[in-house]
Amino acid sequence: MKHHQFLLCLALLGVILLWSGCDDEDLTDPDCTVDIPVISTNVLCGNEPYYFENLDEPQAGNLPSLPFNCTTSGMERIVRIDEPADGDFYLQLYVGVAATVHFQVFGANCEDNVVPITGCLQSDAVAVSERIVSANDFEDVYVVIDYTLFTSANHLADYVLGPDEFIGVAAIDELPQTDAIDYRDQSSTYEGPGRLAFSCDGGTFQRVIIGSCNNKADVYAWAREMGLPISEAYQGEGGTTVALDIPEGMSPNAVGGMGDKPLTKPRRPKADSSDFFIEEDYIIEVSTLGNGLFDGNDISIPEEALPCLAYQPRNGSRPGGGNVIVNMIDSGIEIGGAFNDDFQGFIYQDEYESAFAQPGLFGFDYLRGDFEPNDEIGHGTATAGTVIGDYRGDAPLTVFHSKIFGINGLASYFGAVVATNEAVDMKSTIINMSWGIPLEEAPQALTCAVQRAASQGVVIVTTAGNENANIDAAPQWPGAFGLQNGFENVITVASMQYPNNNIDEDPVKASFSNFSNQRVNVAAYLTSQSPAFMATDLDDFDYIGGTSISAPLITRSLAAYLGPNGGGLALWTAERLERSSQLNSLGQVYEGLYLPVCSGF
């Protein structure tokens, strides 16, 4: 017996020794035959969703058996999340169907040891981002997704499933760190976020804009149907515009349906929806010194032109009406500086009042939400200084400052659209826009606002841009509206200069200026004298160069022919403009039209 016990002990010892000599790698898991889409989490920006289509058909493949305890339609979809770095990740759903989505996350080893990581979650939003934690205890992480179509009990209609509807799934390990601009001040009475974050790719803000040119359309109903938080909203005579926040790390382009997958189309209201639009909240960048603008002190200005470009303001605003009103949608005006008294002489004094316009004030700050449009970068001070610098009309001149650009030289598209509509409402004579949005197609909300300005007889003067580009091929807006049918109120301005510094010769296009004889109405000189930003005394002037200055040169000349001054565009063209054979023959400006630097002297 003892002999047998001894042999048994030796055998057991051998087994133990053999076991201890095996590596974990020598042990293989049973084959997992699950066949479902795998979602990667290792891309922080631009993670392309996996799209489930044909939502009325069962998912193909060998699906794991999971205890999904949400409301089910029998058409649930399952994905596997691939190796979250630390076990935590953000699940992203792009919901291109008018439905409540139900979803649940499970951990497992293939189909064994299945454990729910979350309970049943649900959302009515078109974009869903959910942080999932403690997924690192499992070899496999599965997400089950199902949907319930909206009904008229809680939504706009009893929706039916369309043939092109879908659910997109993506995931990221962590939220991207993006830049932002300061926005609403806490003391402001106007609602809005304290900061506006950039999208992941930095091209837009992290929100979309929905709206309609029809002021009777119920845009708010559409916003509710989208299920996203309202960032801020505007409603006026020109229609309704609503900004909706997009979850961090998700693509505003994908959510807005501007790509191949129109997320929002299934949720449009069934009535009066044809004139609704949705766009990204584009980041608008204004030209600054070294970035589109240059120091005009470094260029040679013809001696004969200096008196014609001199800053000599006159005929400021008066109470009681009868003013020509120029609305500068720009970066504001320097308040409290050396030239404050000059600028004060042109403040708004008409009777019209609104949430954005009050008599006796400089204008409105659409960033901070207050009535102090104080310039932080100098661009607005230079453009407004150019307008008042040599205005020669008989009627008094008002310059209203609609500040949309802040300290970074950036503005939101939402702010630009609201400022344009408000400029029309206050019966501006001219709106000066020394900026542009580079897009292949015209942005819809801005198109509505510009066309509305035309219907009210408001002229818009804007820049061609400073990239030495043909804006037929590389359009920027509103400049590319110039000379187009239905936009006869838009005057797009290029910059010109005189060869050999001789103002008697035909001018040529400034080297930096954009051009197009199909879209650019007129050229003006490339610089003018204006008060220096943060000047220390009244002898402190600048010559800033760029189409940003050429446009207000046209504005101040044209202002003497519009509004209470009478005349009109045709008379101004006949009396003030000339034709350059160079600008015409090279196809740079319509019929080679330009404003001579000393026109009117």
The residues assigned a catalytic role are 330, 379, 548
Please list the residues that pair with 515 across neighbouring strands: 470
User: In this structure, are residues 399 and 387 in contact, taking their beta carbons and an 8 Å threshold?
Assistant: yes
Please list the residues that pair with 328 across neighbouring strands: 401, 432
H/E stretch holding 109 reads strand 99-109
| CA–CA distance, 470 with 106 (Å, rounded to integer) | 55
Structure-block tokens of residue 237 = 């005579």
Structure-block tokens of residue 347 = 């403040």
Give every CB contact of residue 33 below 8 A, 6+ residues apart in sequence: 62
Q: Helix (H, G, I), strand (E, B), or coil: what is residue 439? A: coil
User: In this structure, are residues 249 and 240 in contact, taking their beta carbons and an 8 Å threshold?
Assistant: no
CB-count burial class (<10 Å; 0-12, 13-18, 19+) for 1: exposed
| CA–CA distance, 142 with 189 (Å, rounded to integer) | 46
- Give me the residue label for tokens 């802040």: 406
Give every CB contact of residue 521 below 8 A, 6+ residues apart in sequence: 482, 483, 490, 491, 492, 493, 589, 590, 593
Structure-block tokens of residue 183 = 């926005």
DSSP class per residue in 316-379: B--TTS--EEEEEEES-B--SSTTHHHHHTT---SS--BTTB-TTS-EEETTTTBS--B-SSSH
Three-state secondary structure readout of 458-480: CEEEEECCCCCCECCCCCEECHH
CB atoms within 10 A of CB 355: 12
The torsion angles phi and psi of 501, rounded to 5 degrees, stand at 55, 30
What's at 36, amino acid-wise? I
Q: What angle do CA 9, 15, 16 make, to 5 degrees?
A: 90
The torsion angles phi and psi of 215, rounded to 5 degrees, stand at -70, -5
Structure-block tokens of residue 108 = 């497992």
In terms of Cα–Cα distance, which of 46, 390, 395, 3 is closest to 203?
Answer: 46
